[in-house]
A and B are shown apart, each in its own frame.
Chain A
């Protein structure tokens, strides 16, 4: 089994309905994502998942120097950012890609699939 990160990419700027067009769309996406999460649990793929606050709430910390340096905002200023993610445990990439397609449909965003090099 291999751990994969399924990272959901979406616009950096969010409106009052998150990344969605309307309240109804947002609620539908949340419901579909909830159902997908239940399926991950039931089928034994689930490791961890979460949605992130908007990129504007991020702080970058560089602790390599004598005193840590804090910078307001995300590390990269881009139009598309990671809005949330799943960590799954799957037997191979085909399974991970299938799950990513389901997750993408549920949350209505593009999903990047990346294997972990290891998990501590």
Chain B
């Protein structure tokens, strides 16, 4: 029986994004959609263990939830009629929109629409991530709170506030027009990349790697790719995430972070690497380079090398040069300098790193510490390792940095 319940919950979670998105499109309200979906889950938990999972569970959930939503709206309409004066100026009165659906941009898909709503620039960046995971990833508020190490009440407030703004300010459920798409797509890709990164190197002092977040980011990026197969940056992001995820298992050993150069490459996931390389080749053929495509190409160079010394560092630096032209930020310059250290030596690289205004960024201290260590400037390296350790809470990274510092004599 418990197994049956777990099976229902698994199907529900897999179908959640699609279910919510179609209900939001139909009823124009996230709260109504979520409540109806919750009622459909209760119904499924009652029926499926006895009658078996229906042949089309997603369709069953959508029909059931849709019926529950209609029942609820009818009840509220009757109540509204009695209290019309009180409700006249309330946003509740516009919760159910009978008018035909508005014109909807170039691509027709409920999940894609909802993804653009969740990642709308009018919402705070943290709220975008939380809403995306809640509504499209099907994670509970408690799970998202745990993943981002904030109290559940804080996360609940963040989600509730964002949903309220969407309803009150009428953030549309719509894929933007073609002219606005590149800019708005950038916001969506940034959210998916942030979700992945938080999973790949968690900021807090809990689990150093959170596979549920990296997995969810990849799943949502795959959905986005299905929906926008012509967009090379979507292919680029998916390639980047897959080539990074492929190294996840080899990245932590005995609770310590293992840097790329020291990883056991036999532990890399060859299936993901092959898929990532295919995506990078596809991007090259389209020849409309962008940030995520270049980052994917850099990761393709790394995953192409049988051993770390085989890495084509001149290719990596050339790709960072290309990225710098698109995004001349100090973070890109820092990553480029790390590659320069392999190509032209740590002294040249250190002079690049020292110029960057990143003293509050732990990766800057990590890069400096490593370069100073390689130059034999031990005392300075120790200070830099200390600064790096102080600037990160990730337990695996702290363990690795502590070990490196301890090896200095």
Contacts and interface: CB of A to CB of B under 8 A. Distances in A.
Interface of A: 2, 4, 91-94, 96-97, 113-115, 117-120
B176 A115 contact: no
B90 A115 contact: no
A91 B169 CA distance: 10
A87 to B, nearest CB: 15
B171 interface: yes
12 contacts: A91-B102, A91-B172, A93-B122, A93-B169, A93-B170, A94-B176, A96-B169, A115-B169, A115-B170, A117-B91, A118-B89, A120-B89
A95 to B, nearest CB: 8
Nearest to A116: B89
A118 B172 contact: no
A97 B168 CA distance: 14
Nearest to A120: B89
B332 interface: no
Interface string B66-102: 0000000000000000000000111100100000001
B89 A92 contact: no
Contacts of A91: 102, 170, 172
Contact of B90 (A92, A96, A118, A119): A118
B174 interface: yes
A114 B168 CA distance: 9
B26 to A, nearest CB: 17
A75 B351 CA distance: 54
B391 to A, nearest CB: 34
Sorted nearest first, the 10 A-B pairs with minimum C-beta distance are A118-B89, A92-B172, A115-B169, A92-B170, A93-B169, A2-B170, A93-B171, A93-B170, A115-B168, A94-B172
- Interface size, B (range): 10 to 19
> Do most interface residues of chain A lie in helix, strand or loop, or is the interface mixed?
mixed
Contacts of B169: 2, 4, 93, 96, 113-115
Given A91-B102, A93-B122, A117 B170 contact: no
A98 to B, nearest CB: 9
B172 A93 contact: yes
Interface string B161-177: 00000001111101010
A115 B356 CA distance: 42
A117 B168 contact: yes
Interface centre among A94, A97, A113, A120 (most CB of B within 10 A): A94
Given A93-B120, A93-B169, A94-B171, 18 more contacts: A2-B94, A91-B172, A92-B170, A92-B171, A93-B122, A93-B170, A94-B172, A94-B174, A113-B169, A114-B169, A115-B168, A115-B170, A117-B90, A117-B91, A118-B88, A118-B89, A118-B90, A120-B89
A91 B171 CA distance: 10
A120 B85 CA distance: 12
A78 to B, nearest CB: 23
A71 B26 CA distance: 51
A96 B90 CA distance: 20
Interface string B28-71: 00000000000000000000000000000000000000000000
Interface string B149-187: 000000000000000000011111010100000000000
A25 to B, nearest CB: 29
Contacts of A120: 89
Contacts of B89: 117-120
